[in-house]
Structure 1
């Protein structure tokens, strides 16, 4: 079977909103822009995403830690690997790709987990994925718990302010 390569994600640059414009947020971004030969007055196309609060990255891993410490199926795994496995098992937060087996032996669907990092996924998408993972955990590993109870145990969701 031929391996599929995922095209690299577009490079992102940190910008701050200023009055009527965007400005470079830090010296690292300024250096990266210079390396790419961007100059004042250049026309560029951009996709704007407001990143999720960075503490969500830590909170997502709390769910992985909860599983690794309490479920035999995840014993010895680090939180990141637990999350990736849950994504693949459940199909939540995954891209699905149809793959053909060599010599006409049929096909299968491969699940490729998306990055959960705060710069890769916005807050709405992240919340959907986390809730989906908790529903999967409740259905598969903790049938006596609801998805909401698992979220609460992991402390993986920040309560929205009223």
Structure 2
């Protein structure tokens, strides 16, 4: 599979990021331009991860860590939230039962579109009774809800 990285130049035109990339971009443009009527062309693209969005997400996690006694390490909270959001792979454990392993959130394995969806799923999970009971087990349901409400308000 070919890889192409493009950039918008000072004149506002797209071009390859380097000479090899420029050649690849020109080939790709020719493919698109010369595509016969009725023919199809398939390609994939990747949206680079936004460092600002990454900082916001991990800022939220640090803030949440400070609000709960259920977790003392950020990595443990992150893994738990990733599982709660449904971003996990199931692999057989030693006893043959499936074990959920959180998927990686690193820049190479998750682009911005996927990271944005994970962020939405984590926020949705935090509204669940299960998440609230885990994070604040000593509070009643109404107080737990207010905790999430207050937390989410800080990041609007």
Question: Which TM bucket (shorter chain)?
Answer: 0.5 to 0.7
Q: Which has the higher helix share?
A: 2
> 136, 140, 152: which one pairs with 2:125?
136
- How far does residue 147 in structure 1 lie from its aligned partner after superposition? 6.1
Q: Does 1:97 align with 2:90?
A: yes
Taking only aligned residues, the RMSD between alpha carbons, in angstroms, comes to 3.8
- How far does residue 87 in structure 1 lie from its aligned partner after superposition? 0.9
Larger radius of gyration: 2
Aligned residues: 126
Unaligned segments of structure 2, at least 5 residues: 29-41, 137-143
> 50, 63, 79: which one pairs with 1:84?
79
> 87, 101, 104: which one pairs with 1:111?
101
Distance 2:5 2:150 in 1: 36
Q: Deviations over 1:70-120 (max 9, x none)?
A: 100123x23x543223112x1x2523223153xxx4321322323164983
Unaligned segments of structure 1, at least 5 residues: 1-9, 25-29, 158-162
Q: TM-score, normalised by structure 2?
A: 0.56
Q: TM-score, normalised by structure 1?
A: 0.55
The residue aligned with 1:122 is 112
Distance 2:15 2:21 in 1: 14
Which structure has more relative contact order (CA 8 Å, sep 6+)? It is: 1
- For residues 12-31 of structure 1, the aligned pairs below 5 Å read 15-18=6-9, 21-24=14-17
The residue aligned with 1:74 is 71
Change (3 A) 1:61 1:99: same
